[in-house]
Structures are given as C-alpha cells and as structure tokens.
Amino acid sequence: MSDDLLTRLGHGDITVKPNVARLDGSGVVFADGSREDVDVIVYCTGYKIDFPFLDAAEFTAVSSADNEVSLYRRVVDPAHPGLYFLGLIQPLGAIMPLAEAQSEWIADLVTGRAALPPVPEMKAEITAYRESLRSRYVKSKRHTLEVDFLGYQRELQEERRAGAARR
C-alpha cells in the first residue's frame, strides 16, 4: 500500500465509499444509497469471482457459481463492448507482468489502436480455451482461470498485433 494513501485520505483527495450496490447508467449507486458519476470502475474480487453489481442474467460471461468465465483472451466479454476484465487469471507464474500486458492491450482497444475480431471468432477462442482447461486440469473452481505465463504472454502479444491489423 502506498504511504500516500493516509495523507490523501486526510486531505480529502480520496473519499472512502461503501460497497457498490448497482450500476446506474454512467454512475454507481453505493450501499448507503449515495450515487457518483464515474469514468472507470476498478473492482477487486480476490479469490471469489463475484460481480454483485452486474445483472447475472445479462452478464452471463462472468456470473457463474463455479467461477467459470467466458471472456475472449480472459479479458473481453463479446456481448458487452467496452467492458474489460484485468487480472481475472490464475497464472502459472507471476500475475503482474501479465496484468500489465492485459492493460496494454486494453489501452490499444480503448484508444482505437486495435480492434477486436468478430464475435463468432471470439466465442470460438473462448470455447477452445475452456476445452483446453478441461483436458488439462481436474474440474474445480480453482482451475477455471489458469494460464501458462509464457504462452499467455505470447498470446496477448499476438493479439495486439492482430488487433492493430484489424483496425
């Protein structure tokens, strides 16, 4: 934790808010009923994949009781353009360099330096990834997000190049 946090809290630069109750257009409604307009939400799930502020019926890609997620390259929900999940992986190796690679790809997408493939192509990649998990690991909540460090890092690099060519 940054040693600036307490100072910034004390000076009012940062405001502590309660849990997110729901999303409301361009804003967030918190558990205490207050509402804030926001540009970005950073939500940290820990080991339990849970997004209680997303409607489970609408966001089926990330609303699984078994921690199963259906995200293209473990980041993009094909049904919700502009919604990205960073760090929702369990690497065999360090997570921080992979999260950084994910953030660089997301930045490419947000700024228009890259484009996503068509939805059927994204869904095919998701299916292939999930099938590879089933053939490699026992069925458990722990193994739903596994990635090999070097293989996934290479996959993201290739996706960035392919995305740049698509735009």
pLDDT in tens, 39-80: 877 766 566 677 777 887 888 777 667 778 889 999 999 999
Q: Which has more pLDDT, 61 or 24? A: 24
The pTM for the full model equals: 0.72
pLDDT at residue 15 greater than cutoff 60: yes
120 shares a domain with 64: yes
36 shares a domain with 2: yes
pLDDT at residue 166 greater than cutoff 90: yes
113 shares a domain with 94: yes
pLDDT at residue 1 greater than cutoff 60: no
Domain span at residue 114 reads 49-166
131 shares a domain with 83: yes
- The pLDDT score that the predictor gives to residue 44 is 65
81 shares a domain with 16: no
114 shares a domain with 71: yes
Please tell me the total count of domains within the chain. Answer: 2
Q: Which has more pLDDT, 140 or 47? A: 140
HEC assignment per residue over the chain: CCCHHHHHHHHCCCCCCCCEEEEECCEEEECCCCEEECCCCCCCCCCCCCCCCCCCCCCHHHCCCCCCCCCECCCECCCCCCCECCCCCEEECCCHHHHHHHHHHHHHHHHCCCCCCCHHHHHHHHHHHHHHHHHHCCCCHHHCCEEEHHHHHHHHHHHHHHHHHHC
153 shares a domain with 81: yes
84 shares a domain with 22: no
99 shares a domain with 24: no
19 shares a domain with 94: no
81 shares a domain with 152: yes
54 shares a domain with 36: no
Q: Mean pLDDT, the chain, as a whole number? A: 88
